[in-house]
Structure 1
Amino acid sequence: MTRNTDLLLTALAPAIWGSTYLITTELLPQGYPLTVAMLRALPAGLLLLLIVRQRPTGIWWGRVLILGALNFAIFWWLLFVAAYRLPGGVAATVGAIQPLIVIGLARLLLGSPIRALSIAAAAAGMAGVALLILTPQAALDPIGIVAGLGCAISMAFGTVLSRKWQPPVSPLTFTAWQLTAGGLLLLPAALLLEPALPPLTAHNLLGFTYLGLIGAALTYMLWFRGVARLDPPVVASLGFLSPMTAVVLGWAVLGQSLSPLQIAGMAVVLASVWLSQRAQPSTPH
């Protein structure tokens, strides 16, 4: 496949993740963040394991637990802490620092060169996200800011280590391992820290099914496939598409306003993604 095809397939993942807010607020019971995260990861991971019928071996048990924690358990836990303690615009803007962290980690762990154009693209992406969803009324909560930064660091480490530790298995199997590990790590926290879910409605079941099969299994398979084939800074920059999709869906489905500044933010986000992939040389796979 061509590089452009790899980019488009990988970009589908954050674009679909942008629908998570809509699905969560409209279809899922409110107030169960850890339980929702666990039910998003664990059933999807177990289903994929039934399909691939392949377990980790040797050193991969430890690596999968680390990656499952970074990409799912720690990442989603801190994401929810930031979301609850900060306005959505602040939380997303803080999290948008992730591509800059990836650039540094890729240099440290993979020996990738740091390119000025990559840094400029990452900074532009942060500015675009701020234009998209940051409001003048946004309040700053110290714990929320720390959680947002921790969330970005966790996902950045997960992205770079997923590239560094490439197992001799398909992206589907790699996704199955990590989703299952992340779900198992979230399970005790959900059971201990949150009450049991109320009886689920048809809308709840539809939301959980979508988040598990589409928002987790499909998207992370595409994401880890992209991590294996593209430079980490390029992959990380695609994450800017998630808040952009969320804003577009809020406008199209929920009737939320779309200001000229937000439209300008979309243009900046798309330009930053283009700049990021232009900054990296094409490499054959």
Structure 2
Amino acid sequence: MAVRTSVSNQGDRGRGIGLALAVGSAVAFGGSGVAAKPLIDAGLAPLHVVWLRVTGAALVMLPLAVRHRALVRSRPALLAGFGLLGVAGVQAFYFAAISRIPVGVALLVEYLAPALVLGWVRFVQRRPVTRAAALGVVLAVGGLACVVEIWAGLGFDALGLLLALAAACCQVGYFVLSAQGGDSGDDVPDPLGVIAHGLLVGAVVLTVVARPWGTDWSVLAHTADMNGSEAPAWLLLVWIVLLATVLAYVTGVVSVRRLSPQVAGVVACLEAVIAAVLAWVLLGEHLSAPQIAGGAVVLLGAFIAQSSTPAEGSPEPVAAGSPERELSARGTVL
């Protein structure tokens, strides 16, 4: 009995630590847009902010990439997919979106990804989905209509909304690509290794696209406005690289290894809530009551869509969520 009690206590502590790490990861990820938007408003192009974020994080995680260099030979498609879509595509479109629309709205639009994944499964792959999953899609789309105030002819910049939707589509592309590998058993790649290599791929791609050598980097030597308060631009960059990227990825992976993917998925939905709250407090981006209610419906629909089991006798649909959480779910339990 004493042994069983000890094991139970250890398990409870492990789950408690995992839950704390998952919440910390959601807070870290949710703060990326809040730190990036003042830099964009101060004069840096969204692509250049993304380049700084990805390149800085890639350099910090370079030792992990070296440690898992065998992935370059064994999983080139996965690394390319994560780097091109999960890193470069998602972040570039997201940062471009928040330069035109509120941070919380942009992230909520991205939460259409689970619905889009299920649409791919149902109409492109012609595989059945459960009624619960279909309900999740309907809820997510209906909630988003409230967030963007569709009854007022779209309450936000249409191009900004399209950019956020493009970020969601990049997530879908990554999910579909990564599912082709059929990872299972002992052949599952280490998620931190994939993230490290994906950041390197993203940094190379963004260097070619953003061409950072022509930018006036003196902006980083000054301050950026955060709803009337001045913050050092370099400090916001450190926030984006170390907290919103490196710490967010690492804690996310470790948390999923201590929790079930389903529990981690619930906590992951806090990311959009945290982003909206931080944007409200730090940037003064207020959402109306219908938008807040719509955001809650979007998150509920996204959670239902990504956690629903497939129809009996059908192949399991592609998992949905953010790319880094998809990688985390593929990790093995510590």
Category of TM-score, reference length = shorter chain:
0.7 to 0.9
Q: Which runs of 5+ in 2 are unaligned?
A: 1-10, 223-231, 311-328
Aligned to 2:66: 53
In structure 2, which of residues 168, 192, 195 is the aligned counterpart of residue 152 of structure 1? 168
Equivalent in the alignment of 1:191: 211
2:93 match: 78
- Mean CA deviation greater in 113-122 or 99-108: 99-108
Q: Is the contact between residue 132 and residue 263 of structure 1 (CA under 8 Å) also seen in structure 2?
A: yes
**SS of equivalent residue, structure 2 residue 248:** helix
Question: Are the aligned partners of 1:20 and 1:215 in contact in 2 as well (CA < 8 Å)?
Answer: yes
* 8 A contact 1:171–1:221 mirrored in 2: no
Which residue of structure 2 aligns with residue 251 of structure 1?
A: 280
Mark the CA change 1:260 to 1:152 in structure 2 (over 3 Å): closer, same or farther: closer
Q: Provide the residue aligned with 1:174 in structure 2.
A: 194
Could you tell me the TM-score, scaled by structure 2's length? 0.65
Which digits, 9 at most, give the CA deviation of each residue in 1:24-59, with x for residues without a partner? 234664332111111111221222122463213324
Other structure's SS at 2:220 match: coil
Following TM superposition, by how much is the alpha carbon of 1:211 offset from its aligned partner in structure 2, in angstroms? 1.2
Aligned to 2:36: 24
TM-superposed CA distance for 1:176, in Å, is 0.7
Measured after TM superposition, the shift of residue 68 of structure 1 is 0.3
* Deviating more after overlay: 84-93 vs 21-30: 84-93
Rg: which structure is higher?
2
Shift in alpha-carbon separation, 1:207–1:238, aligned structure 2, 3 A: same
- Distance in 1 between residues matched to 2:100 and 2:213, nearest whole Å: 17
Unmatched 5+ stretches in structure 1: none
In angstroms, what is the RMSD of aligned CA positions?
4.3
Deviations 1:193-252 (A, max 9, x none): 96232252382222122211221223234556759x748xx95x8765444222212333
Matches of 2:250 and 2:180, distance apart in 1? 17
Q: Relative to 1, partners in 2 of residues 1:133 and 1:249: Cα closer, same or farther, differing over 3 Å? A: farther
Relative distance call for 1:150 and 1:252 in structure 2 (3 A) is closer
Counterpart position of 2:225: none
Aligned residues: 280
**Matches of 2:170 and 2:74, distance apart in 1:** 21
Within-5 A mapping of 1:27-46 = 29-46=42-59
Matched ranges for 1:74-223 at <5 A: 74-84=89-99, 91-92=106-107, 94-105=109-120, 114-132=129-147, 134=149, 136=152, 138=155, 141=158, 146-162=162-178, 164-165=180-181, 166=183, 168-191=188-211, 195-198=215-218, 200-201=220-221, 203-221=232-250
1:18 Cα shift?
2.6
Q: How does 1:1-20 map to 2 (within 5 A)?
A: 13-20=25-32
Contact 2:85 2:170 in 1 (8 A): yes
Structure 2 CA distance, aligned partners of 1:172 and 1:182?
Answer: 15
Q: Secondary structure at the match of 1:77?
A: helix
**Residue 106 of structure 1 contacts residue 160 of structure 1 at CA under 8 Å; is this kept in 2?**
no
- CA change 1:51–1:60 in 2 (3 A) is closer
Q: 1:159 to 1:126 in 2, by over 3 A?
A: same
**Could you tell which deviates more after superposition, 32-41 or 267-276?**
267-276
Q: Which amino acid aligns with 1:23?
A: A
1:49 counterpart letter in structure 2: L
